[in-house]
Every structure is written in structure tokens, then in C-alpha cells.
């Protein structure tokens, strides 16, 4: 199934079921007004949602309408928690060099993860208001999972079984502010403004065998101002989402609708390019001896779209956002 959320006056927006080809949508207020509500009552709503999805795909719903990604909020405009790992170790090791930080202890064996704000997510084509170009404005292309309730101390296998939906994420970052926050040890706060999401959250079956081992085996095609920036592959994730979720749930239960992210998709092969500017910059420094690429300016755009290994577009739709000066 594919779900999107149309922006309205409410905090959780209006849930729509979207056809497999992302051309048609239907509201399902009699089943669940919002995606968060559906996730909180998943066992009760799964069958009627599947029925709506099947009828939509069969073209038999007279109340269906054209799906407009520009009318979308994030699939969950707010969620109970947003926890972001750094599960592509290639990225993490490069970022330690970029930030001038010593290597993180146990980085290869224990996931690192920060708690982000989850009350104010951005939709796929919403402008990104930020206070200053001097903060080092950067995108971060990621994949993520949305879970049902995960009990405290769940194992990776138990936690993985709680995954309800898969999502595609742009975790906006302010690189000038990150190193100080890392050194203070309290984690990212000012360095992480509102996170953005592709329009469609999808059940894992929509990926077929591209969802396996708790990983999304998709490429993430990233363009900055229309220029190719990279297309790293999600299958290279060093920790799977089962491990990330178990790490998150070690001393707390996760409630329905919590989102856990992979961290920036990143491949060892330089040919894959990057899914964030900071990583490209440190690669330039290492490979060419100097940083050549600046961070984003107001008016810049970033576009992100997943793709299957056979070249078909991924199931999440497109993130296409512009950075603007706040106010």
C-alpha cells in the first residue's frame, strides 16, 4: 500500500491512499482520518485500507481524484519520535574527518543515533526556511522506517517485525553548528532544523525483494540545482533497521508512528557520489587536497528520488525543495 498526507489545517493532515502508479488517490475518513491514527490502530484498519488500495488500483473508485504531490505534507507531519542513526559507516568515518573529531568509540559494533525534533516535519516540495547561509546549509538523503509499538528491550528480529512503513528522508543539516554540538556531547539540536519527507510512505511489500535483511536495496538519486550529485545504494547499510530499532528501544518502548532513519546513504565506491555536501567536501579534501564545493545558498534546490536496481523509479515519489531565508 501507498499512503500520503494532504496538508490541511490540522496537525496530522488528511490521509489518502495512493494508487501504485501514484496517479490517483482516495481519502478514507471512514477508516482513518490521518496516517498517525491508522498506525495507532493498524490491526483494525489494515484490511479496509488494503481494500481501498486494491479498488483504487483496479480503477473502480468513483471518488478517486488525481494525486498531487505538491499538495502533500510529510506522510506524518508530526510523529511521536524521530530517531536518526548513522548506519552507513563509510559516511560516519568521513564525517569524523570533516568535523575534525576523533573516531567514535565502538562505531563499528554499536549504532550511533540522535534524537531529532518530530513535531514539525516538512512536505516533499515545501520551501525550507533557514536563518543564515553562514550556518553551512546541507541536505542529507536517507531512508527510514515507521513502526508500530516496539516493546522495551526488543531484539533486532522482534523490532524488525514491527516495521509498518518505509519512507524517504531529507534530513536538513547546518554544518557550521554540528561540530560544536558533537563536542559538547549532548547531540545535534541547532544543527538539525525540520526534516523533510518524500510524499509516499509505503508498506514493505511495495519493494518486493528490494526490502530484505532490514535494508532498502534502492539507489538514492540526488541532484543539486539540477546537477547530478550522487546515487549511493541503500543496500550498503552496515547496521540493518532491526539493529537500529533494537538500539532505540534498549531502555524505552517506541510508540506507534515512531520513525527511525538510516543516516546519510553512502557507499565506499567514490563512483556513487554522495547524498550530502559535507561528505563530498571531505572527499575533495582527501582525494584532491582541497575543498572545492560550498554549502547551499538561498534559492538553491535539491531533488531526491529512489530507484530500483533495474532502473524503475522507487515507490516514494520525489523530494524537490528550495532553501529560502527565514521570514
Which spans of this chain sit near a copy of itself (rule: CB under 8 A)? Answer: 11, 40, 78, 80-81, 83, 86, 101, 104-107, 110, 112-120, 129-131, 135, 152-153, 174, 177, 180-194, 247-248, 250-253, 255, 258, 326-327
- Cβ pair 286, 109 in contact under 8 A: no
Pick between residue 25 and residue 169 the one whose CB is nearest to a copy of itself: 169
Phi and psi angles of residue 115, each rounded to the nearest 5 degrees, phi first? -90, 125
* Nearest distance in Å: CB 12, a copy of itself: 12
Please choose, from the candidates 192, 197, 232, the residue with its C-alpha nearest in 3D space to the C-alpha of residue 215. Answer: 232
* Nearest distance in Å: CB 186, a copy of itself: 4
Pick between residue 167 and residue 244 the one whose CB is nearest to a copy of itself: 244
* Nearest distance in Å: CB 306, a copy of itself: 25
Which distant-in-sequence residues (6+ apart) come within 8 Å of 121 by Cβ? 73, 74, 76, 77, 78, 79, 82, 194, 195, 196, 197
Cell of 151: 516493546
Pick between residue 11 and residue 286 the one whose CB is nearest to a copy of itself: 11
Pick between residue 51 and residue 153 the one whose CB is nearest to a copy of itself: 153
Unique residue bearing C-alpha cell 518502548: 253
Pick between residue 130 and residue 265 the one whose CB is nearest to a copy of itself: 130
For the chain, strand residue ranges (E) read 2-6, 14-18, 24-27, 65-66, 82-85, 113-116, 128-130, 137-138, 141-147, 163-170, 173-174, 196-197, 201-202, 211-212, 215-216, 219-224, 227-230, 259-261, 301-307, 319-325
* Nearest distance in Å: CB 215, a copy of itself: 21
Pick between residue 30 and residue 250 the one whose CB is nearest to a copy of itself: 250
Amino acid at each position: 500500500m501507498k499512503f500520503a498526507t494532504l496538508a490541511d489545517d490540522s496537525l496530522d493532515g488528511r490521509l489518502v491512499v495512493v494508487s501504485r502508479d501514484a496517479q490517483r488517490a482516495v481519502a478514507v475518513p471512514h477508516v482513518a482520518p490521518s496516517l498517525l491514527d491508522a498506525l495507532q490502530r493498524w490491526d483494525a484498519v489494515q484490511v479496509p485500507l488494503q481494500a481501498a488500495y486494491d479498488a483504487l488500483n483496479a480503477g473502480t473508485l468513483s471518488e478517486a481524484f488525481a494525486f498531487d504531490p505538491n499538495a502533500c505534507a510529510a506522510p506524518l507531519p508530526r510523529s511521536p519520535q524521530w530517531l536518526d542513526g548513522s548506519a552507513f559507516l563509510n559516511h560516519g568515518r568521513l564525517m569524523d574527518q570533516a568535523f575534525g573529531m576523533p573516531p567514535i568509540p565502538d562505531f563499528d559494533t554499536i549504532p550511533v543515533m540522535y534524537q531529532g525534533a518530530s513535531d514539525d516535519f516538512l512536505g516533499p516540495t515545501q520551501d525550507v526556511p533557514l536563518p543564515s547561509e553562514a550556518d553551512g546549509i546541507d541536505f542529507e538523503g536517507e531512508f527510514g522506517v515507521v513502526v508500530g509499538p516496539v516493546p522495551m528491550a526488543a531484539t533486532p528480529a522482534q523490532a524488525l517485525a514491527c516495521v509498518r512503513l518505509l519512507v524517504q528522508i531529507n534530513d536538513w543539516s547546518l554544518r557550521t553548528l554540528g561540530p560544536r554540538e558533537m563536542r559538547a556531547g549532548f547531540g545535534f539540536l541547532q544543527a538539525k532544523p525540520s526534516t523533510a519527507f518524500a510524499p509516499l510512505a509505503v508498506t514493505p511489500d511495495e519493494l518486493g525483494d528490494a526490502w530484505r535483511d532490514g535494508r532498502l536495496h534502492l539507489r538514492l538519486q540526488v541532484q543539486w540545482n539540477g546537477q547530478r550529485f550522487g546515487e549511493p545504494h541503500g543496500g550498503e547499510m552496515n547496521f540493518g533497521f532491526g539493529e537500529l530499532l533494537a538500539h532505540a528501544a534498549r531502555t524505552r518502548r517506541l510508540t506507534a508512528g515512531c520513525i527511525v532513519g538510516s543516516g546519510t546513504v553512502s557507499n565506499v565506491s567514490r563512483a556513487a557520489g554522495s547524498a550530502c555536501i559535507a561528505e563530498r567536501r571531505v572527499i575533495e579534501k582527501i582525494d584532491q587536497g582541497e575543498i572545492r564545493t560550498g554549502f547551499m545558498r538561498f534559492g538553491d534546490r535539491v531533488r531526491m528520488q529512489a530507484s530500483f536496481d533495474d532502473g524503475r523509479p522507487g515507490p516514494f515519489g520525489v523530494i524537490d525543495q528550495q532553501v529560502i531565508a527565514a521570514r
